[in-house]
Amino acid sequence: MTRRYNITVKGRTYDVEVGDLAHSPVTVTVDGVQHQVELPPGVQVVATPAPQSHAVRPPSPAVDSPPHPTRTDPPASTQTQAHVATPQRRPTPTPSSGPAADPDTIRALMPGRVLRVNVAPGAQVQRGQPLLVMESMKMEQTISAPKEGTVKTVQVQPGDSVTRGQTLIELG
């Protein structure tokens, strides 16, 4: 179902048409320019009428009327508020070189210096277990295991300077 809105932002009014929110991508047209808007996984969009009173009328005495009150549909120009359900907080991303990175390769998210290495090759690790601690921009960053596994290699040691994307640890 497509809905039209007039939205004013900083004194400028835009003609906005929003397509079916049940499926991603959603077609959104702003002042005649069409856009495809991807909804992130886990996000639910629920459209509800804006706070207004809508008449509820009792059924007419006609024979074919339903046995319960029927809500009168609001006019097409009624404003709608969209509530976006926030997905549960995701765990801190594991350092990697990108979304398609190998989950067995732990990489530095930013340049820095290795302060501590908490594991050695052959060690069994659990998801979330701290593997090493880095210092970057005067802040300590604990790098944790993204999954359960065995440490295959440790490619850094305390005091090493690392660059963004550099491999730190490989799991097997």
pLDDT tens sequence across 67-111? 544 444 445 544 445 545 445 555 555 444 444 467 789 999 889
Residue 2, phi-psi category: left (phi > 0), alpha (psi -120 to 50), beta (remainder): beta
DSSP 8-class letter at 8: E
CB-facing half-sphere around the CA of 85: CA atoms within 13 A:
11
Flag whether the pTM goes above 0.75.
no
How are beta strands 167-171 and 105-107 bridged, if at all? antiparallel
Distance CA 68, CA 147 (A): 54
What would the mean pLDDT of 56-72 be, rounded to a whole number?
49
Q: Which CATH architecture has domain 105-171?
A: Beta Barrel (2.40)
Residue 35, pLDDT above cutoff 70: yes
| Residue 4, number of CB atoms within 10 A of its CB | 11
> Where are the domains positioned within the chain?
3-50+61-85, 105-171
108/111 Cα distance (integer angstroms): 7
